[in-house]
A and B are shown apart, each in its own frame.
Chain A
Amino acid sequence: MRIGITSVFVDDQAEAERFYTGVLGFEIRQDLPLGTDRWLTVAPPGRPEIELLLEPAHHPAVKPYRDALAADGIPLLMLFSDDVRAEVDRLERAGVHFTQPPQAMGDVTTAVFDDTCGNLVVLVQQS
């Protein structure tokens, strides 16, 4: 057994595609029409083992859940990087807004950014 797909809810799939591919540099893995929405997954280049589903946020339970987590600043996605500070420089040049600058916390360095689709994402570098 292995983890194949995990998901984040996004406000707008077209905007999410632009951000996750154009800004973060992920590749589209699956893009199929699904009713009024799309089955849209992305993954980093060269990483076939797991995909991220960019899931529409229409369900009424989603908004209160995301609003409450956003209010407390809780990220809904954790991405690993070998060099968080370099990643932050690159993303800030691309216009990404960081809500927490890179900081050492215990054995890890973290930074938090806004994915423009309704989620906070934490970048983690394990020492």
Chain B
Amino acid sequence: MYDALAHRVRRAVLDALVERDGQTLFELTTRLVTDGVTTGSRQAITQHLDVLEQTGLLRIERVGRQRIHRVDLTGLRDICERWRLHPGPPDADQAGSR
């Protein structure tokens, strides 16, 4: 889980899916490239998606002929519970970097 979150591109993937859940690989890739997150190849992005999928932060479903990527942040609850964090409204002086 911590390794999955350690990479800037993987965090950007989660950001993109929180913004709009249920994207295809094409849409995610286009978004990451146009946002300047990565110049990465499709293969590189696919590897990042595999890492996220293995941790359960990402689920890939088949909808019709397309593979759709959905975000699942329930696994992050373990992190919050470990340090007894109770997610509330973002606190200005605790705002971290992305």
Contact = CB atoms under 8 A, between A and B. Distances in A.
B28 to A, nearest CB: 9
B31 interface: yes
Nearest to B42: A72
A61 interface: no
Classify the interface of chain A: helix, strand, loop or mixed.
mixed
Interface stretch (B3-11, B19-27, B73-81): B19-27
Interface in A79-127: 99-100, 103, 105-106, 110, 112
B30 interface: yes
A112 B27 contact: yes
Contact of B67 (A71, A75, A105, A112): A71
A106 B32 CA distance: 10
B94 interface: no
A70 interface: yes
22 contacts: A70-B66, A71-B65, A71-B66, A71-B67, A72-B24, A72-B25, A72-B66, A73-B24, A73-B27, A73-B67, A74-B24, A74-B26, A75-B26, A99-B24, A99-B66, A100-B24, A100-B27, A105-B31, A105-B34, A106-B35, A110-B30, A112-B27
Interface of A: 67, 70-75, 99-100, 103, 105-106, 110, 112
